[in-house]
Amino acid sequence: MSHFISHVATLEIPVTNLEKSIEFYIDILGVSLEFKGTKNAMLTYKSKGVPTIYLVQTDETQEISFKNTNNGIIHSIIDFYSPKLEEFYHWLKEKDIPVGTLNISPENGYGGFGFKDPDGNLLSVTNVLHSGQ
């Protein structure tokens, strides 16, 4: 069986204020502005290449997240990686970014937490790297 897809190219995120969101994502995620249109922008991690983050200005105010009906936990659909999970958590709190509970396993030190962008889109960060990352 042949595989036609090799990786995730772009994460598309709806935003209501493009300028505010560009500032947020550059400041909080450390991405660079690759392209900026009147109603959209492409952001990238220069050192890693993929995936890019495509911000699209829209009046649609639906937030990106979902509820796991098995346990009631609200999940993001995007997990970012940080080797300095606790430091990042406290840094976000100092910047008054809405953050969830910092969950770290005492057995292996792996964990993560959620935080929100200016439009209430739920993003997550973890210190877990998977094979090939």
- Residue 49: predicted pLDDT: 62
Considering the domain architecture, whether residues 44 and 77 belong to the same structural domain is answered as no
- Residue 16: predicted pLDDT: 96
- Residue 133: predicted pLDDT: 65
Considering the domain architecture, whether residues 97 and 133 belong to the same structural domain is answered as yes
Q: Whole-model pTM?
A: 0.89
Considering the domain architecture, whether residues 53 and 82 belong to the same structural domain is answered as no
pLDDT average per 10 residues of sequence, the chain (133 residues): 76 96 96 96 83 93 88 91 95 96 93 95 91 67
Considering the domain architecture, whether residues 88 and 74 belong to the same structural domain is answered as yes
Considering the domain architecture, whether residues 43 and 80 belong to the same structural domain is answered as no
Considering the domain architecture, whether residues 44 and 86 belong to the same structural domain is answered as no
Domain boundary among 60, 82, 110: 60
Considering the domain architecture, whether residues 69 and 133 belong to the same structural domain is answered as yes
If one counts the domains in the chain, the total is 2
Considering the domain architecture, whether residues 73 and 106 belong to the same structural domain is answered as yes
| Sign of the alpha-carbon dihedral angle for 66, 46, 88, 86 | positive
Give the CATH number of the domain where residue 101 resides.
Answer: 3.10.180.10
Domain residues for the domain of 41 are 1-60
Domain boundary among 60, 75, 109: 60
- Residue 132: predicted pLDDT: 67
Q: CB–CB of 62/108 below 8 Å?
A: no
- Residue 9: predicted pLDDT: 87
